[in-house]
Amino acid sequence: MSSKNSVSGFSLRMMVYGALFTAFIIIGSYISIPIPVGPVPIALADFFVMLTGLFLGWKYGLQSTALYLVLGALGLPVFAGGRAGLGIILGPTGGFLFGYLLMVLAIGIVAGKMKPSIVSYLIALIAGNFFLYLAGIPWLKAVMNMSWPAAVAAGFTPFVIGMVIKIAAAAALARVLLLRFRQTMRVNT
């Protein structure tokens, strides 16, 4: 196989993986539970954004996550609860949606710079979640005109246990599957 075909084969493969991970994020968004303490639901979308960062890296992970946001902005019902549109992106949960971009970027960069291990995955996932909440909580505070304690109570506290479980599950999946996944991305020349 020529070098040009290898590059185009890799690009096509990454586009397919990117679309697949976008679909995973969408599916995760549909698996959501509204909570009474605020407008931010418990959803599995962030779990799939974590996996996107670990498996696709920062560049393709960012593209995949951005595609998810563009689809929602264009009106496709891809956000939590089947919602869509600019009103959702600019609403109380918008900071978390934009935070997905920071999350996948941080996870991809941190995981890409470290030797693959459960510890490096955990560090990358914790960093990614830090940036998710760094974007989401201030946005929630501003849009809902909340105090800082109220914004933390509505946008962080109810999610801590789930965040820990999702981080552990994503790290465990990466430990088991990431090496095999990366082997499928290699192009024989």
Give the Cα-Cα-Cα angle 163, 166, 170 (nearest 5 degrees): 140
Per-residue exposure over 163-189, b if at least 16 CB sit within 10 Å of its own CB, e if not: beebbeebbebbeeebeebeeeeeeee
At 16-61, the pLDDT tens digits run 999 999 999 999 999 999 999 889 999 999 999 999 999 999 999 9
pLDDT of residue 26: 98
pLDDT of residue 5: 56
Question: What is the C-alpha to C-alpha distance for residues 49 and 29, in angstroms, rounded to an integer?
Answer: 10
Q: How would DSSP label each residue in the chain?
A: --HHHHHHHHHHHHHHHHHHHHHHHHHHHHSEE--TTSSPPEESHHHHHHHHHHHHHHHHHHHHHHHHHHHHHTT-S-BGGGB-SHHHHTSTTHHHHHHHHHHHHHHHHHHHHS-SSHHHHHHHHHHHHHHHHHHHHHHHHHHHT--HHHHHHHHTGGGHHHHHHHHHHHHHHHHHHHHHHHHHH----
pLDDT of residue 2: 52
| Tokens at 128, concatenated | 């990614």
pLDDT of residue 15: 93
Question: What is the C-alpha to C-alpha distance for residues 4 and 8, in angstroms, rounded to an integer?
Answer: 6
What are the φ and ψ backbone dihedral angles of 44, each rounded to 5 degrees? -95, 0
Question: What is the C-alpha to C-alpha distance for residues 2 and 9, in angstroms, rounded to an integer?
Answer: 10
Hey, how many other C-beta atoms are within 10 angstroms of the C-beta on 113? 10
Residue with tokens 């303490």: 37
pLDDT of residue 188: 42
Q: Which domains does the chain have, with CATH numbers?
A: 3-185 (1.10.1760.20)
Average pLDDT over residues 2-11: 63
pLDDT of residue 128: 98
Global pTM value: 0.92
- Percent of the chain exceeding pLDDT 90 equals 85
pLDDT of residue 1: 46
Q: Which bin fits 84, alpha (ψ -120 to 50), beta or left (φ > 0)?
A: beta
Average pLDDT over residues 61-66: 98
At 140-172, the pLDDT tens digits run 999 999 999 999 999 999 999 999 999 999 999
At 69-79, the pLDDT tens digits run 999 999 999 99
